C-alpha cells in the first residue's frame, strides 16, 4: 500500500466517523425535541386532571429512560465500531509498511485480534435491533472502505495510464526529434551532394568551354593556314601569270622585231633590185 492508498483509506474512515458523529448528534437532538414535545403533552394533560397527569407521567418516564438507554448503547456501539475500523486501518498500514521493508514475519492481525486491542468497555444490549444496526454499520463501513479502495485503485490506474501516456508522448517526442535530426542530416547530405554535383557540373562546363576554345582556336588556325596557303597560291599564280605575260610580250615583241627586220630586208632588197634595174636601164 503506497501513500495514495493510505491517504484514501484514512480519508474514508475519517469521513465515516464524521457522518456517524453527525448522525448521533442529530439523533440526540431529535430525541430532545421528542422529549420536549412529550413534556408539552404532559403539561396539557396535567391541566385536565391531576389523576390523569400522574398516570401519564408514570407511563412516559420509563419509556423515556428506555429510549435514552438504547440511544446511549447504539451511540457507544457506533463509536466502538468506528474505533475498531480505525484500529484495523492502522494495523493494515503498519503491515503494508512492514511488507515494503521486506520483513520476514507477517505481523498482520486479523479483525478479531484487532478488536481485542480495543480497550473501551461497552455494554451491549442483547437486542436484535442493536445487532442489526451494528452489522449494518459495519457492512456500510466495509462497503465504503471497499469503494474508496476501488476509487484509489481507479486513481492509481488513471495515474498509471497518464504516466504511460506521458512516457508514450516522451518516446514519441524523442522519435520525432530523431526524425527531425535525421531529416536535417539528410538535408545536409543532400545539400552536400548538390554542392558537389554543382561543382562537378561547373568543372564539366569549364572543360567544355576549354574544349570549345581549343576547337575555336584550331579552327581559326586552320582557317588562317588555309588563308595563308591560298594567299601563297594566289601570289604564285600571279607571279606565274606575270612571268607568262612577260614571256608572251617578249615573244610578241621579238616576233614584231623579226617581222620589221624582214620587212626592212625585203624593202632593202627591193630597193637594191630597183636600183639595179635602173642602172641596167641607164646602161
**Can you spell out the DSSP letters for 116-149?**
HH----------HHHHHHHHHHHHHHHHHHHHHH
The pTM for the full model equals 0.30
At 183 the pLDDT is 92
Percent of the chain with pLDDT over 70: 53
What is the pLDDT averaged over residues 57-81?
52
At 191 the pLDDT is 92
Under 8 Å CB-to-CB from 68, ≥6 apart: which residues?
31
Gap between the Cα atoms of 43 and 57, Å rounded: 10
Better pLDDT: 138 or 210? 210
Start-to-end C-alpha separation, the chain: 191
pLDDT bin (cut points 50, 70, 90) of residue 245 is confident
pLDDT bin (cut points 50, 70, 90) of residue 221 is very high
- Structural contact between residues 83 and 47, judged by C-beta atoms closer than 8 angstroms: no
Torsion of CA 271, 277, 282, 283, to 10 degrees: 130
Closest C-alpha to 38, from 9, 60, 16: 60
What is the pLDDT averaged over residues 90-100?
55
At 14 the pLDDT is 53
**CA 258 distance to own-chain centroid:** 122
Gap between the Cα atoms of 3 and 153, Å rounded: 12
At 93 the pLDDT is 54
Which one of 40-44, 94-98, 135-139 scores highest in mean pLDDT?
Answer: 135-139
Torsion of CA 140, 144, 149, 151, to 10 degrees: 150
Gap between the Cα atoms of 175 and 126, Å rounded: 71
The pLDDT tens digits of the residues spanning 111-132 come to 444 444 333 333 344 455 666 6
- Structural contact between residues 52 and 45, judged by C-beta atoms closer than 8 angstroms: yes
Closest C-alpha to 240, from 10, 150, 232: 232
Torsion of CA 255, 256, 258, 261, to 10 degrees: 170
Lowest mean pLDDT among 49-53, 227-231, 251-255, 262-266: 49-53
pLDDT bin (cut points 50, 70, 90) of residue 146 is confident
Residue written as cell 391531576? 50
What is the pLDDT averaged over residues 144-150?
88
Better pLDDT: 173 or 78? 173
Question: Residue 243: pLDDT above 80?
Answer: yes
**CA 78 distance to own-chain centroid:** 56
Percent of the chain with pLDDT over 90: 28
At 94 the pLDDT is 53
Amino acid at each position: 500500500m503506497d501513500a495514495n492508498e493510505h491517504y484514501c483509506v484514512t480519508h474514508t474512515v475519517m469521513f465515516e466517523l464524521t457522518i456517524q458523529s453527525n448522525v448521533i448528534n442529530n439523533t440526540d437532538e431529535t430525541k430532545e425535541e421528542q422529549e420536549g414535545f412529550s413534556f408539552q403533552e404532559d403539561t396539557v394533560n396535567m391541566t385536565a386532571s391531576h389523576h390523569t397527569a400522574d398516570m401519564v407521567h408514570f407511563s412516559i418516564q420509563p419509556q423515556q429512560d428506555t429510549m435514552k438507554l438504547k440511544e446511549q448503547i447504539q451511540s457507544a456501539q457506533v463509536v466502538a465500531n468506528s474505533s475498531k475500523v480505525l484500529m484495523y486501518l492502522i494495523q493494515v498500514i503498519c503491515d503494508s509498511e512492514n511488507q515494503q521493508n521486506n520483513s520476514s514475519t507477517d505481523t498482520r492481525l486479523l479483525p478479531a485480534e484487532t478488536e481485542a486491542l480495543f480497550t473501551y468497555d461497552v455494554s451491549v444490549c442483547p437486542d436484535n435491533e442493536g445487532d442489526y444496526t451494528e452489522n449494518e454499520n459495519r457492512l456500510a463501513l466495509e462497503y465504503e472502505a471497499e469503494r474508496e479502495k476501488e476509487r484509489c485503485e481507479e486513481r492509481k490506474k488513471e495515474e498509471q495510464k497518464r504516466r504511460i501516456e506521458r512516457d508514450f508522448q516522451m518516446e514519441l517526442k524523442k522519435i520525432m526529434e530523431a526524425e527531425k535530426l535525421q531529416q536535417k542530416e539528410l538535408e545536409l547530405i543532400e545539400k552536400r551532394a548538390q554542392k558537389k554535383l554543382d561543382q562537378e557540373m561547373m568543372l564539366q562546363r569549364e572543360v567544355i568551354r576549354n574544349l570549345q576554345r581549343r576547337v575555336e582556336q584550331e579552327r581559326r588556325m586552320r582557317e588562317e593556314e588555309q588563308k595563308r596557303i591560298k594567299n601563297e597560291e594566289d601570289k604564285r599564280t600571279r607571279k606565274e601569270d606575270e612571268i607568262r605575260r612577260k614571256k608572251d610580250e617578249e615573244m610578241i615583241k621579238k616576233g614584231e622585231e623579226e617581222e620589221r627586220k624582214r620587212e626592212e630586208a625585203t624593202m632593202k632588197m627591193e630597193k637594191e633590185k630597183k636600183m639595179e634595174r635602173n642602172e641596167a636601164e641607164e646602161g
